[in-house]
Structure formats: C-alpha cells, structure tokens
Structure 1
Amino acid sequence: MPTMKISHYFEFEDHVTGGIHESVVHQRKMLDGLDLQYTTAPTLDADVFHCNLMGPRSAWYARRARSRGIPVVANTHVTAEDFGDSFRFTNALARPLKPYLERAYGLADALVCPSAYNQQLIETYTDAPTTIISNGVDREKLEGFESLTEEYRERYDLDPPVVFLVGHVIKRKGLETFVELAHRLPELDFAWFGPLDLSLKGRETTALIENSPDNCTFTGFIDDIRGAFAAGDIFCFPTHEENEGIALLEAMTAGKPLLVRDIETFSWLEDGADCLKVSESGVAGFEAALQRLEDPSVRKRLGTNAAKRSKHFSLESVANQYQSLYSTVT
C-alpha cells in the first residue's frame, strides 16, 4: 500500500508567530515520526490537503481540492472570539472575521479543534465535522531548562518566587491583571517572557506596559524559551480567552504551579489539584491565590500534579490522532 501524502500548508508562515506557529512546528515533528509523506507547499498532488490557517490562498486551494475529491483538513486556531484584544486593529477586524471563517471552515471535510471549548465555538460557525486534537507539548524542547535558572534570573534581576507568563504580550491574555498584581504585590517579582512588538499595540496596551511598576519585567523575545521556565516559579495566566494555551502545557511539563482565570477553556483543569483557579472578575482573587502560592509546599504539590497531567499531551500521545484522522477522511 503506497504511503499517504499530505499537503501540510501554513499560509503566512513567515509572518505568524506565537501559539499557531508552535502548533505547526509540533504537527510537523509528529508527521516526521509517522509513516506519512508530506510537503509544506500547497499542492493538489496529495491525498489530503491540510491547512493550518484559513487565509484566502488556503480557501482557494480548499475549494479546488474538494472539487477534485481530495479531502480537506483544517485547524481552527483562529476564532473571532480569540482574535479580539490582540494587536492594533484586531478588535475592528474581529466582527467581519466571523462570517469569513464560517465560509472558510465550511470548506473542510474535517476540522481539528485544540480543545473542547474551541470545538463548541466552531460548531456555531459551521456544520463541518470536528475532532479535538490537542496542540500538544514538545517535552524534548524543554529538556535541561533547570540548568538555566541562575543565568536567566541574573539576566533579568529576578528574585524567587517569580510570577511569570510566556507568550506575546497582548491585552487578551490578562495584561491588565498581570500589571495590577505587580502593583499590589511589590514584594514579588513579575516577568512576562515574550515578544513586545509595541508598534503593533494599541494605546491602552502600550500605556499598561510603560507604566508598569519596577517589579514587573517585560523581557521581549528571548532566544531560548527554556530560560523562561527556568526563571519562573508560578505560571500566572489570567487570560480572558484562549483556544488551548501551549505555554500553559509547557509550564505543566516543567512542573510549575498554575494560576489561571476560571474560563471554559480550562474546565479540564482541577482547581486545588493541578492548578488554582480564580472565578472573580477583579484582581483580588488572583492576589489572594498568589499569596497562597508563596508557600513552597503548595507550589510543589500543584507543580508535581501538573507535570503528571502533562504527559497526556506529549507529541507521542497526540501523533496517532492525526494518523487516525487522515485515514478516516481518505
């Protein structure tokens, strides 16, 4: 039986960073380990056309693939709900984005949703069949992070326990809460590791960053992401909207205790067992939870449980789900 060939296309690959880019890197690493051939070029000379970002070129190929009987698989990384409060102008674009995505995602024979929450959203967009497959976590990428602790704490002048976050600095991810917590808890160091891109930020976001207190550090892009997980002690993720959160899975893998907003996306996490959740809309709940997490024994218990839970999301565990999906659609 000939090996299945996949056109694994990522539109705007040279421009898109963050979680979407990481997800594609993970997928291709998984594909490398499976008995599949794939090309990163968009082509109809394939058994499956798989697109990771439903831009206009992807939609063009998807229509032609379907007309030739080639099954189309698409990841639902982007939703109108997730798009708002990200970069400058994204709020204005979020409203027209939904009808576009409804049409684009409707071209797929199978949609890959990274979480149950994302699946629920997407089912309001289209009747196309959906499958939940996690973005996964690349455990190999984090190996040896502990050896970088001293270097990265020294580099950014951080004293433990360090409250940290990893990813693009955007309002939707709880920037206002993160900065306000730093104001309220001057005895703790806060560090947000990830690209700043101030030229892409709105006025309000820029003001939050520029007026943050001295104990709140925005590192900008760092060359070795392991340094973030080495320097940080408490992963504080007050995001308002998330499709899954690869950085959260990485923090779990690194055995870091999680503090998250109690949103639908994180319903699979158990409050008090593998994380602490804050349901209040204000900052007070996060402040109280951080004060609890100043206790090393609480951090150790939650971090150990999170690390155990993270094994379910390893690339090895996720890879076979893609193999099965491709076999199903063909």
Structure 2
Amino acid sequence: MKISHYFELETHVTGGIRESVVHQRKMLDRLDVTYTTEPTLEADVFHCNLMGPRSVWYATRARRRNVPVIAHTHVTAEDFGESFRFTNALAKPLKPYLRWAYGLADALVCPSEYNRRLLETYTDAPATVISNGVDREKLAGFESLEAEYRDRYDLESPTVFLVGHVIKRKGLETFVELARRLPELDFAWFGPLDRSLKGRETTRLIEESPANCTFTGYVDDIRGAFAAGDIFCFPTHEENEGIALLEAMAAGKPVLVRDIETFSWLADGEDCLKVSGADVDAFEAALERLTDAELRDRLGSNAARRSEEFSLETLATQYQSLYQEVA
C-alpha cells in the first residue's frame, strides 16, 4: 500500500499542526506501508493535513479517479479566531469553505472526540478519532536541562508554565493576570512570539505583563521548558486537542486546565485540576493549591500514567486500520 501523505504549506506552518504531521510520519515509519510526502494520485490513499487550495485540487481529482481521500481536521473556524492578526475576520468565511473542503474527503481524522462532534456540524463524511499523540522520544532526557533553563530565564520552583505559540485564544489574558495576582510565583510561556503577526490586544498583554511573567520566545530545545516548568497552566478557551498538554503529562507535570469540552476526558482531582468558565479567582485558588509539592507529585504521576494511551506506538495501528478500511 502506498500513501500520499501531503502537508500543504509545510515549510510555513508551525505549531501543533506541524507537530501532528511529524508524529503521523513517525507512526507511518512503524507500519508496513510506503508513503511519499509529495502530493500524487499515483497512490492507494491521498491523505492531506491542511485543506488549502492545492489539497482541494488534488482531492477533487482523486475522487474522479476513485483514489480514497483522508483529510485531517486540524483547522476549524472555532479555533481559528483569537489566534493571529486578521484571523477573527477570516474565521466566519472559513467555516463554509471548510464545510465544502472536508466534504470532499472519504474519511476524516479528528484529533479528539470534541473535534469529531464539532465536525458533525460541517459535513457528514465519516470521521475517526485518532489523537495527535505524544512523542516520548522527543522528551527523553529533559530532566538534565533543568538547571540550564532555570538559570537562562531566572526561574525558581514552583514555576507556572505554558508551551506553544503565544496567542490570545490559549488564555493569554488569564495567564498574565494570574502572574500579576501571584507575584511570589514565576510564570513562563515558552514559544514563538511572532510579534508582527499579533493583534494590538495580544501585544499589549505581552508588553504590560508583570516582571514575574516571562515570554521566552522560540526555544532551541523544547525539552528545556518541561525541565524548568513545574505546573502546566493551560487556560485555553478553544482547543482541538493540545499536544503540549499531552507532552506535559508525559513529562509527569501536574496540569491545570479550563474546564472546556475538549478536556472532558481528563478527571478533575485525579490527573489534573479543572477550573470552570472564566473565573480568574478559581484559577488563582487552584494555583495556590498546587504550591503543595505532594499534590503536584500525585497529579503529575497520575498524568504520566494517563498519557501512556497516547503514545505513538499505541496509535500507529489505528492508522493502519483506517488505511485498510478506505483503500
């Protein structure tokens, strides 16, 4: 079996989508399939990760040639807003476009059950939930970087941290306000700033953040973030899954999340702490609870065990089954 595993705009798109594609290709390397990263219809399955115009062009022609099309649903109108400059304006017209584009697929791959339910409002194309997964090999040896990264960014334990692009949708306002309310704690957001792509409100929040709130920008070894951070605080408002969350769990870090539908699979008080709605007071109280080292250790250990079901080894067979089903 040969797969055309295509990622449109591969040299330009970063963040969670790129990480997911990297994970998928590592899983494909484990399977008894041949794949190319080039778009081609000389394949048994055309699998696209971003439904841009070129992917749509190939998908349309694949259907004419009876080549099955699989589309990943990384992008939705719901999580597109509050990201970068102009994304709010584009989110509304994006939805009808995605309804049409995803409708070209014979099968959809959704990274979470929440994402699958959301896609039911877009198209009736069959959908399979396969997590983006967590690459444990990428995190190997992260503990050895603790001293280096704490020293580099002047962080003291317990450090509250987040990993990923700095965008408002991920709870930037809450993160900065928590730092302002808890000056005795260090806060660090590890990830690209991309200031030229940020809206005025996002830029203002970054520039006016308190002294104990560090925005590191791009880091050369993301393992350093998980080494220097103690409490993974993820107050995101909308998420399709959250690879950085899975990575934090795999690293044995306690996680604090906003109680949104995406995270319904997490058990509050067992493998995370959850905060309902937009209550910053409740986030503050939760962080104060997490200054207890014993609670951090218990939640972190439980999170690490829960993350095992998202390993790439476990997920690879799900792709094999899907390819066999559509081919």
Q: What is the TM-score with the length of structure 1 in the denominator?
A: 0.99
1:52 counterpart residue number: 49
**Residue 93 of structure 2 is aligned to residue 92 of structure 1:** no
Choose which of 126, 130, 140 in structure 2 pairs with 1:129: 126
- For residues 98 and 232 of structure 2, the distance between their equivalents in structure 1, rounded to whole angstroms, comes to 32
**Residue 113 of structure 2 is aligned to residue 116 of structure 1:** yes
1:144 counterpart residue number: 141
- For residues 280 and 10 of structure 1, the distance between their equivalents in structure 2, rounded to whole angstroms, comes to 35
2:249 counterpart residue number: 252
Q: How does 1:213-232 map to 2 (within 5 A)?
A: 213-232=210-229
- For residues 250 and 54 of structure 1, the distance between their equivalents in structure 2, rounded to whole angstroms, comes to 26
Q: How does 1:20-99 map to 2 (within 5 A)?
A: 20-99=17-96
2:292 counterpart residue number: 295
1:13 Cα deviation (Å)? Answer: 0.4
After alignment, is 274-283 or 107-116 more displaced? 274-283
1:206 counterpart residue number: 203
**Residue 275 of structure 2 is aligned to residue 275 of structure 1:** no
- For residues 136 and 72 of structure 2, the distance between their equivalents in structure 1, rounded to whole angstroms, comes to 22
Query: Which amino acid counterpart does residue 58 of structure 1 have in structure 2?
Result: S
1:102 counterpart residue number: 99
Choose which of 180, 184, 199 in structure 2 pairs with 1:183: 180
Query: Which amino acid counterpart does residue 304 of structure 1 have in structure 2?
Result: S
2:8 counterpart residue number: 11
- For residues 297 and 49 of structure 1, the distance between their equivalents in structure 2, rounded to whole angstroms, comes to 49
User: Equivalent residue of 1:59, what SS?
Assistant: helix
> Which 5+ residue runs of structure 2 have no aligned equivalent?
none
User: Equivalent residue of 1:277, what SS?
Assistant: strand
Choose which of 293, 304, 314 in structure 2 pairs with 1:317: 314
User: Equivalent residue of 1:272, what SS?
Assistant: coil
1:32 Cα deviation (Å)? Answer: 0.8
- For residues 221 and 36 of structure 1, the distance between their equivalents in structure 2, rounded to whole angstroms, comes to 35
User: Equivalent residue of 1:241, what SS?
Assistant: coil
> Alpha-carbon deviations, 1:261-284, whole Å to 9, x = none?
000000000000000000042210
Query: Which amino acid counterpart does residue 30 of structure 1 have in structure 2?
Result: M
> Alpha-carbon deviations, 1:156-181, whole Å to 9, x = none?
00000000000000000000000000
User: Equivalent residue of 1:158, what SS?
Assistant: coil
> Alpha-carbon deviations, 1:175-201, whole Å to 9, x = none?
000000000000000000000001100
Query: Which amino acid counterpart does residue 121 of structure 2 have in structure 1?
Result: T
> Alpha-carbon deviations, 1:132-171, whole Å to 9, x = none?
0000000000000000000000000000000000000000
Number of residue pairs aligned between Structure 1 and Structure 2: 327
- For residues 277 and 315 of structure 2, the distance between their equivalents in structure 1, rounded to whole angstroms, comes to 33
> Which 5+ residue runs of structure 1 have no aligned equivalent?
none
User: Equivalent residue of 1:236, what SS?
Assistant: strand
- For residues 97 and 280 of structure 1, the distance between their equivalents in structure 2, rounded to whole angstroms, comes to 26
- For residues 27 and 132 of structure 1, the distance between their equivalents in structure 2, rounded to whole angstroms, comes to 14
> Alpha-carbon deviations, 1:226-255, whole Å to 9, x = none?
000000000000000000000000000000
User: Equivalent residue of 2:71, what SS?
Assistant: strand
- For residues 288 and 10 of structure 2, the distance between their equivalents in structure 1, rounded to whole angstroms, comes to 41
Identity of aligned residues (%): 80
Query: Which amino acid counterpart does residue 34 of structure 1 have in structure 2?
Result: L
1:266 counterpart residue number: 263
User: Equivalent residue of 1:35, what SS?
Assistant: coil
Q: What is the TM-score with the length of structure 2 in the denominator?
A: 1.00
2:231 counterpart residue number: 234
- For residues 319 and 297 of structure 2, the distance between their equivalents in structure 1, rounded to whole angstroms, comes to 34
After alignment, is 273-282 or 232-241 more displaced? 273-282
1:59 Cα deviation (Å)? Answer: 0.5
- For residues 210 and 40 of structure 1, the distance between their equivalents in structure 2, rounded to whole angstroms, comes to 40
Query: Which amino acid counterpart does residue 326 of structure 2 have in structure 1?
Result: V
User: Equivalent residue of 2:144, what SS?
Assistant: helix
User: Equivalent residue of 1:7, what SS?
Assistant: strand
1:124 Cα deviation (Å)? Answer: 0.3
> Alpha-carbon deviations, 1:114-144, whole Å to 9, x = none?
0000001101000000000000000000000
Query: Which amino acid counterpart does residue 224 of structure 1 have in structure 2?
Result: D
- For residues 197 and 70 of structure 1, the distance between their equivalents in structure 2, rounded to whole angstroms, comes to 39
- For residues 35 and 69 of structure 1, the distance between their equivalents in structure 2, rounded to whole angstroms, comes to 23
